[in-house]
Structure formats: C-alpha cells, structure tokens
Amino acid sequence: MLGWAIAFFVLALIAAVLGFGGIAGASAGIAKILFFVFLVLLVLSFVARAVRGRNVT
C-alpha cells in the first residue's frame, strides 16, 4: 500500500514538472488517500498485535 502511495506521489511530481496540473492534482490526491489508508491499517495492525500478545508454548 505504501508502495502505491509513493508511486502516485512520484507520478504527481513528474506530471507537475511537465505542466499537467490536472493529472498532478489527481495523482497527489490518490497518493494522499492511499497514504492515510496505509497509516490506518498500520495502526490497526499494531493494536491487533498488542491485544493478541505472544503465545508462550
């Protein structure tokens, strides 16, 4: 997920340099959404791991 966010961010930077404002804005928006989804899933993963704990078998 983070890889996709970085890919869209790079695409937005390249589009902005080349003057494609609409594509750059859309790609930046997608990158932002994917990054926040990644953060939410990361926090949920940490919480689930903390709640589950470790098995001592």
Residue 57's pLDDT is what?
A: 59
Residue 19 lies in a domain: yes
The answer to the question of residue 43 being in a domain is yes
How confident is residue 56, by pLDDT bands cut at 50, 70 and 90?
A: low
Tokens of 11: 């695409």
Q: Is pLDDT of 55 > 70?
A: no
Structural domain of residue 19, as residue ranges?
A: 2-52
Q: Sign of the CA dihedral 17, 23, 24, 30? A: negative
Closest CA relative to residue 23, chosen from 12, 33, 31: 12
Q: Where are the beta strands (DSSP E) in the chain?
A: none
Between 33 and 1, where is the model more confident? Answer: 33
Alpha carbons 24 and 27: distance in angstroms, whole number: 5
Query: Could you tell me if residue 6 is inside a domain?
Result: yes
Domain count within the chain? 1
pLDDT (tens digit per residue) in 4-41 = 888 888 888 888 888 888 888 888 888 889 889 999 99
| pLDDT attached to residue 38 | 92
Asked, for residue 57, whether it belongs to a domain, the answer is no
